[in-house]
Structure 1
Amino acid sequence: MQLLNFFLSALRPDDLAALSPGLAEVSLSPGQVLFEPGDAVDSIYFPGSACVSLVTVLSDGKAVETSTVGRESAVGLMDAITDQPARGRVFVQVGGSAMRASSSTYRARLRESPALLKLTLLHARANALQAEQGVACNVAHDVHGRLARWLLMTQDRVGADTFPLTQEYMAVMTGVQRSTVSIMASALKKAGVIDYARGTVRILDRTTLLRHACECYSIVGQQFNDLRTTPT
Structure 2
Amino acid sequence: MIWADVLCTPGERTRYAYFPTEGFISLLTLTDGSPELEVGMVGHEGMLGVQLVLGVGMAPLRAVVQGSGMAWRIDAGAFRKELKRSPTLQRVLNRYLYVLMAQLTISAGCLRFHQIGPRLARWLLMSQDRAHADSFRVTHEFLAYMLGVRRVGITVAANALQHSGLIAYHRGDLQVLDRRGLEVAACGCYAAEQKAYIDTLR
TM over 0.5: yes
* CA–CA distance in structure 2, aligned partners of residues 205 and 108 of structure 1: 45
| Matched residue, 2:142 | 169
CA RMSD after TM alignment: 1.6
| Matched residue, 2:46 | 73
- The answer for unaligned runs of 5 or more in structure 2 is none
Q: Percent identity?
A: 34
Matched, 1:180 2:192: no
1:29-44 matches, within 5 Å, as 29-44=2-17
* CA–CA distance in structure 2, aligned partners of residues 43 and 85 of structure 1: 11
* CA–CA distance in structure 1, aligned partners of residues 70 and 188 of structure 2: 30
1:109-147 deviation per Cα after TM superposition (whole angstroms, max 9, x unaligned): 221222211111111121011000011112222111111
Matched, 1:64 2:37: yes
Matched, 1:160 2:133: yes
1:136-187 deviation per Cα after TM superposition (whole angstroms, max 9, x unaligned): 1122221111111110011011111111222122113322111100111112
* CA–CA distance in structure 2, aligned partners of residues 138 and 113 of structure 1: 37
| Matched residue, 1:119 | 92
2:195 to 205, 216, 222: 222
| Matched residue, 1:104 | 77
* CA–CA distance in structure 2, aligned partners of residues 121 and 159 of structure 1: 25
Measure how far apart 1:216 and its partner are. 0.7
| Matched residue, 2:105 | 132
The number of residue pairs the alignment matches comes to 202
Matched, 1:141 2:121: no
- Comparing 120-129 and 165-174, the one that deviates more: 165-174
- Comparing 80-89 and 59-68, the one that deviates more: 80-89
C-alpha contact 2:53 2:83 (8 A) present in aligned 1: no
* CA–CA distance in structure 1, aligned partners of residues 103 and 2 of structure 2: 24
Q: Which amino acid aligns with 1:190?
A: H
* CA–CA distance in structure 2, aligned partners of residues 85 and 75 of structure 1: 12
C-alpha contact 1:37 1:87 (8 A) present in aligned 2: yes
* CA–CA distance in structure 2, aligned partners of residues 44 and 226 of structure 1: 24
Question: What is the SS of the residue equivalent to 1:55?
Answer: strand
Question: What is the SS of the residue equivalent to 1:111?
Answer: helix
Q: What TM-score results when the alignment is normalised by the length of structure 1?
A: 0.81
- The answer for unaligned runs of 5 or more in structure 1 is 1-27
C-alpha contact 2:114 2:187 (8 A) present in aligned 1: yes
